[in-house]
Amino acid sequence: MSFFVYATFAVLLDRISARAQRGLTHILGAAAFGQQLLMFHLHSTDHAGLEGQYHLLLQTVVVVSLTTTLMGIGLPKSFLVSFVRSLSILSQGAWFVIMGFMLWIPGFIPKGCLLYNDDGHKIVRCSSEEALHRAKSLANIQFGLACHWSHHFRCNLVSGLG
């Protein structure tokens, strides 16, 4: 909902050509990313299981988006700030897709973990501490690969622009 409000005000401010348009748009964006960060921090039930690991990694990307949005207030014409913010938003979307596959499609759930239905909520639980460590390590490897491919995409995009 907050991103809908942000997008609505961004379009309105763009149409009326307000003097403080960029600053207000960045402040609204920062509020939306702050709310998203808080939501994902509070959404994880135990912060210790596999879901907690995926949410923790997602929060790091949201922090980058929030930070670059706040930096955009003081540096509105910085290509680097805008570019990193755009890629962090792209990375959020990619990480959402990876989370969706790895946590809610039974064939992709790591070895030793199962999808349980707990009071109407589907939760991935691992059978042993070893299985949990293996699953968290897999999540970390996936995040590292996602960062690598994002960096690879960014380098190819920038080299193509120059």
What proportions of the chain, in percent to the nearest 5, are helix, strand and coil? 75, 5, 15
Model's pTM, two decimal places?
0.84
* Per-residue confidence (pLDDT) for residue 57, from 0 to 100: 93
What is the full DSSP assignment across 83-142?
HHHHHHHHHHHHHHHHHHHHHHSGGGSPTTEEEEEETTEEEEEESSHHHHHHHHHHHHHH
> Is 132 in contact with 53 (CB distance < 8 Å)?
no
CA 36 to chain CA centroid, nearest Å = 9
Per-residue pLDDT of the chain (162 residues; tens, 9 = 90+): 677 777 777 777 767 766 667 778 888 889 889 999 998 888 766 667 898 899 999 999 999 999 999 999 889 889 999 889 989 998 999 999 999 999 889 899 999 999 888 888 788 899 999 999 999 999 999 999 998 888 888 888 778 765
* Per-residue confidence (pLDDT) for residue 54, from 0 to 100: 92
Q: How far apart are CA 30 and CA 23, in angstroms?
A: 10
Q: How far apart are CA 31 and CA 108, in angstroms?
A: 34
* Per-residue confidence (pLDDT) for residue 42, from 0 to 100: 83
* Per-residue confidence (pLDDT) for residue 45, from 0 to 100: 61
